């Protein structure tokens, strides 16, 4: 469900660079206090869209409004929008405190107000004790927090973050993801985060727009994106799944290579179906519930479960295994699933 009213309204925005259509008729609305993620492969137009919102790029066509006011004629520094760049740069010769204060000093705010706001923001990001440190004396995660503090201190209505965590290793990245979410609740600013990491988008955002070649392919809450991807592209991009082309007829999904398999009538008119690994059960080859028999190709240990790759008539199925005893490579297994778990995909 949409949170609040539309803060930012992007309508029919296109932008080309020579032959490249970086944005192709993009329309979307971002709500007040929302944590919104733009997700998509490299080159799909994510940064270009942020640059249009921030005012560093003019669209060839379309409109962008903030609180109903046309943003396009307003120069970047006058917009209530702040963009934290993909490769943020701190001033190396300035302390943490001065880095954070810089934007407010440029605005010529009274010194007392600057001190108060910087103190508050440093507390929020947990860097009070590092206020006198230089950037080179900080860890990657701490530098990232300084960059965030610098963006937040200006109190934008809308904070745009371009791959804010990409420079961090996996562990700090996980911590910073939680931090970002906490910060967003605490400061009450609308966040738009760009990432090409699906786990990051799915775990942080209230809604996610999945982009591909300048087009928004699907915009939904993470759970809906995962459970009801509409296209082969989104099913493939979000989570892992087995995708089977074919058509629905005679009460089953008719595949080219494997013949009919169980599916329900919601698959009528679909061009492919997806099966999530958690919907596929491994059973004994002789089990009467087995839909197909196959051979285990690989088993990937994942911590709380394992993922088995099973070959059936040249098709690779992924199945989650939660048993204590894992199947062994090259063993024969049966695969079973409920017809209702099959996800219909209606677009490429």
113 in helix, strand or coil?
A: helix
Give 120's Cβ-side CA count (13 Å radius).
Answer: 13
**CA neighbor of 263 nearest in space, from 239, 244, 241, 286:** 244
- Residue 22 vs 310, nearer CB to ligand ATP: 22
Shortest distance (Å) from residue 45 CB to ligand ATP: 4
- Residue 140's binding partner among ligand ATP, Mg ion, none (Cβ under 5 to 8 angstroms by kind) is none
Closest to Mg ion by CB, 85 or 102? 85
Where does this chain touch Mg ion (CB under 5 A) — which range of 31-39, 47-55, 147-155, 196-204? 47-55
Q: Do residues 153 and 115 make contact, with C-beta atoms less than 8 angstroms apart?
A: no
Length of the chain: 348
- The whole-angstrom separation of Cα 257 and Cα 246 is 9
Write out the H or E segment, with its range, that includes residue 46.
Answer: helix 46-54
In sequence order, the 6+-apart residues with CB closer than 8 A to the CB of 60 are 14, 15, 16
- Using CB under 6 A, which of 79, 150, 196, 276 touches ligand ATP? 196
Nearer to ligand ATP, 33 or 166 (CB): 166
Structure-block tokens of residue 148? 């965030």
Would you say 8 and 66 are in contact if contact means Cβ atoms under 8 Å apart? Answer: yes
Which among ligand ATP, Mg ion, none contacts residue 17 (Cβ within 5 to 8 A by kind)? ligand ATP
User: Residues touching ligand ATP: how many (CB under 6 A)?
Assistant: 12
**Which residue is at the shortest CB distance from Mg ion?**
47
**What whole-number distance in Å separates Cα of residue 200 and Cα of residue 202?**
5
Instruction: Choose, by CB under 6 A, the member of 17, 169, 286, 314 that binds ligand ATP.
Output: 17
| Residue selected from 13, 26, 30, 44 as contacting ligand ATP according to rule CB under 6 A | 44
From 2, 4, 12, 20, residue interacting with ligand ATP (rule: CB under 6 A): 20
d(CA 33, CA 174): 22
Sole window of 43-51, 123-131, 265-273, 294-302 interacting with Mg ion (rule: CB under 5 A): 43-51
Any contact of residue 43 with ligand ATP (CB under 6 A)?
yes
Contacted by 187, from Mg ion, ligand ATP, none: CB < 5 to 8 Å by type: none
Residue written as tokens 């009460």? Answer: 251
Contact region for Mg ion (CB under 5 A) — 8-16, 46-54, 102-110, 130-138?
46-54
With beta carbons less than 8 A apart as the criterion, state whether 262 and 339 touch: yes
Residues 230, 221: Cα–Cα separation, whole Å: 13
Q: Considering beta carbons, is residue 97 or 200 the nearer one to ligand ATP?
A: 200
- Tell the residue number behind the tokens 């700090």, with chain if given: 172
CA distance 348 to 342: 17
**Calpha distance 344→348 (Å, rounded):** 12
The smaller minimum CB distance to Mg ion, of residues 97 and 212, is found at: 212
44 binds, among Mg ion, ligand ATP, none (CB under 5 to 8 A by kind): ligand ATP
Binding at 45: pick from Mg ion, ligand ATP, none (beta carbon under 5-8 Å per type): ligand ATP
Q: Does 47 bind Mg ion (CB under 5 A)?
A: yes
**Contact map string, positions 45 to 74, toward ligand ATP, x by CB under 6 A:** xxxx--------------------------
- 3 state SS of 168: coil
Residues found near ligand ATP in the complex (CB under 6 A):
17, 20, 22, 40, 42-48, 196
Residues found near Mg ion in the complex (CB under 5 A):
47
């Amino acid at each position: 469900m949409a949170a609040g009213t539309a803060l930012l309204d992007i309508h029919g925005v296109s932008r080309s660079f020579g032959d490249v259509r970086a944005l192709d008729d993009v329309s979307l609305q971002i709500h007040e206090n929302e944590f919104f993620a733009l997700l998509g492969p490299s080159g799909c137009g994510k940064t270009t869209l942020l640059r249009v919102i921030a005012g560093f790029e003019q669209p060839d066509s379309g409109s962008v409004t903030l609180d109903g006011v046309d943003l396009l004629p307003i120069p970047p520094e006058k917009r209530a929008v702040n963009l934290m760049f993909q490769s943020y740069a701190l001033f190396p010769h300035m302390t943490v405190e001065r880095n954070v204060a810089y934007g407010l000093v440029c605005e010529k705010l009274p010194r007392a107000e600057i001190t108060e706001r910087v103190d508050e923001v440093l507390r929020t990001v947990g860097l009070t004790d590092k206020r006198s440190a230089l950037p080179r004396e900080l860890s990657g995660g701490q530098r990232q927090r300084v960059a965030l503090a610098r963006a937040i201190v200006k109190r934008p209505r809308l904070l745009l973050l371009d791959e804010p965590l990409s420079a961090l290793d996996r562990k700090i990245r996980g911590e910073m993801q939680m931090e970002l979410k906490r910060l967003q609740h605490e400061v009450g600013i609308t966040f738009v985060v760009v990432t090409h990491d699906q786990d990051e988008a799915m775990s942080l955002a209230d809604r996610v727009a999945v982009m591909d070649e300048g087009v928004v392919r699907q915009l939904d809450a993470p759970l809906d994106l995962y459970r009801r991807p509409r296209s082969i592209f989104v099913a493939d991009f979000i989570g892992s799944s087995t995708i089977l082309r074919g058509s629905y007829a005679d009460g089953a999904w008719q595949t080219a290579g494997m013949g009919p398999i169980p599916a329900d009538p919601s698959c009528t008119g679909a061009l492919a179906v997806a099966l999530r690994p958690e919907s596929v059960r491994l059973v004994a080859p002789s089990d009467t519930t087995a839909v197909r028999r196959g051979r285990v190709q690989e088993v990937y240990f994942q911590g709380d479960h394992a993922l088995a790759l099973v070959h059936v008539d040249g098709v690779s199925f992924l199945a989650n295994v939660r048993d204590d005893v894992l199947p062994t490579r090259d063993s024969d297994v049966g695969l079973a699933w409920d017809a209702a778990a099959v996800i219909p995909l209606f677009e490429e």
